[in-house]
Amino acid sequence: MSVYLHFRIKGKKKMNSKEIGQQSSDWKISIATLEDAKGIHEALIQNLIEIRDFDKISKKQRKSLENQGFLRKEVGIDYYEQLIGDPNVDIYVAKYNSAIIGFASIHKKKYDIVKVRDVIGELTCDDERTRKLLLDDNIEFGYLDQVSILAEYKRKGLGTVIFQRALLGLNTPVVAFIVEEPLLNKASIYWHEYNGFKLKATSGGEYKGKSFKFQIFIHWNEKE
């Protein structure tokens, strides 16, 4: 998901490429190395909500999380060290003054979403193209696993810059999961829609003993 943090508030004017360029002139986007694992993990932790906390948060906190975004993947630094060494995973990091300020992780050469997301339950989609992409063992896609941006760099276009850089290295559609229940990740929905994803399917599922409902977004990545 799942993802996923950097977003625009609904109704905010979409930035053009010149405006993004002005914002991002000092950001350096690159493929992560092992030395980056600690900084990546710190960016994750800043936006993480642990599964056991879902039932404890107040109504005010729920509203804040829905609008600001959250991640729910509880992993350690070693998880990112393994991903960095995997030739079929690209982690793109954004740095400012040599410090990591955000990242995105994309898993490449994926087939059949059920094998990618072992938490997935019943899948619902309306069109055959989507169903084939998600379930056919012969159709390849990329999986956008996480996007996380440090708080002080949100709403500046950084997530978009990282994702656009990642798209340059892909020639397949990209799939992403967004939590709908038990807590709707509105920020993630806005970000994905802003960046060309479309809601194409839904799925139930379970993670660490907690029932979830996911929205499945697809970026068809059709080159002009």
Fill in the DSSP letter of residue 172: S
**First-to-final CA distance of the chain:** 26
- Give the integer Cα–Cα distance in Å for 146 and 43: 11
Establish if 33 belongs to a structural domain.
yes
What is the full per-residue pLDDT of the chain (224 aa) written as tens digits?
333 333 232 334 444 545 444 456 789 999 999 999 999 999 998 887 665 556 677 777 777 766 666 656 778 999 999 999 999 999 999 999 999 999 999 999 999 998 887 667 788 998 999 999 999 999 999 999 999 999 899 889 999 999 999 999 999 999 999 989 888 889 999 999 999 999 999 998 877 677 889 999 999 999 76
Q: How many domains does the chain have?
A: 1
Q: How high is the pLDDT of residue 80? A: 96
Establish if 38 belongs to a structural domain.
yes
Establish if 132 belongs to a structural domain.
yes
Helix (H) or strand (E) holding 196: none
Establish if 137 belongs to a structural domain.
yes
Establish if 111 belongs to a structural domain.
yes
Closest CA to 80 of 104, 99, 97: 104
CATH number at residue 78: 3.40.630.30
- Give the integer Cα–Cα distance in Å for 219 and 60: 32
Establish if 36 belongs to a structural domain.
yes
- CB atoms under 10 Å from CB of 220, counted, come to 15
| Enclosing domain of residue 69 | 17-219
| pTM, to two decimals | 0.82
Establish if 113 belongs to a structural domain.
yes
